[in-house]
Amino acid sequence: MTNTKVPVGISSCLLGEPVRFDKGHKRDAYIVGTLAHYFDFRPFCPEMAIGLGTPRPTMHLIKKDDAVRCVVIKDTGIDVTDRLHDYAQQQNFADLCGYIVKKDSPSCGMTRVKVFSNDIPHRNGVGIYAEVIMRNHPLLPMEEEGRLGDAGLRENFIQRVYVLHRWKQLLADGLNPQSLTRFHARHKLIIMSHGDYQPLGQLLAGVTKANVAEIADQYILQLMRLLKVVVKRKSHVNVLQHIQGYLKKDLSADNKAELGELIERYRHGEIPLIVPLTLLKHHFRQSPDAYIEDSYYMSPYPQELQLINQL
């Protein structure tokens, strides 16, 4: 894994910048205290960018006819929907590998943002800016800071960030059928944990020098869509047992029994994923396998993040 920090967009207030409507911020300790060691954060505040300044009146999403508009509630004549939309349309983000946004924000919230209809709030909205970004950048992993408190969602987001980072490195190094096929092979066990890996393998079966760019575009879109699925314990168990099969000729009966027992204990939620993975890594140090060594499944991101300790 490269030591280079990964470029990730972020709502400015989460870094402690005083850009909130009340001149405050929403500095997030996990983001600035842990993720900042690995992510090169690029701050954005669409509300400041469109000239609203701080302090500023509160904004709400309001349903008008069949459309959702972002309106300054103290003066309903001020509708900033188009300005937020246009600012989002201008963003390129070609270098970004992820984006963390502020929950509940009428501009940046991804999900369950309050939409007022006849003065009654309904948590079924999406921030105006975030909605455009997600539509225009379907490969870009996005998550709200509030949802990062969930271990499964946190791991899922960070895993997707590193997969996209490696994809951008692949493109920078030069795309060809061999490099694309190896990228898939190195991620195959990760893909297997998220769902059916066969469609992606079938897609690559027809790759040639002539169509590699077209196939690659289809591949990464399908891959990033599949990786949005949060991995369930049962799926990890299937992958662990699959990996165990690569050791069937090298382990003693006692070692096989010990590994099998740990996988079962993980299945029942008695121990975290890191425990059987650590034992597998130990056995593969004794009995190396080129495919497993090349795979990202057991080391998908810097181990210092300790994400799998909580899965």
The span from the CA of 217 to the CA of 171, in Å, is 11
Asked whether 132 and 85 are in contact (CB, 8 A), the reply is yes
Q: What would the pLDDT profile of 163-203 be if each residue is shown by its tens digit?
A: 999 999 999 999 999 999 999 999 999 999 999 999 999 99
Beta bridge partners of 72: 59
Report the predicted TM-score, pTM, of the whole model to 2 decimal places: 0.94
Residue 76 binned pLDDT confidence (cut-offs 50, 70, 90): low
* Domain ranges across the chain: 6-149, 151-227, 233-305
**Residue 17 predicted with pLDDT over 80:** yes
Say whether pLDDT at 268 is over 70.
yes
DSSP 8-class letter at 232: P
Within 8 A by CB and 6+ apart from 249, the residues are none
Strand ranges for 6-150 from DSSP E: 6-11, 39-44, 59-64, 67-72, 99-101, 113-117, 120-125, 142-144
Phi first, then psi, for residue 115 (nearest 5°) are -120, 125
What mean pLDDT do residues 52-65 have? 90
Torsion angle of alpha carbons 30, 33, 35, 40, nearest 10°?
Answer: 130
Provide the pLDDT confidence category of residue 1 given band limits of 50, 70 and 90: very low
pLDDT band of residue 281 (cuts 50, 70, 90) is: very high
C-beta separation of 214 from 223 below 8 A: no
pLDDT tens, 137-152?
A: 999 999 999 999 999 9
Query: What DSSP designation does 275 have?
Result: H
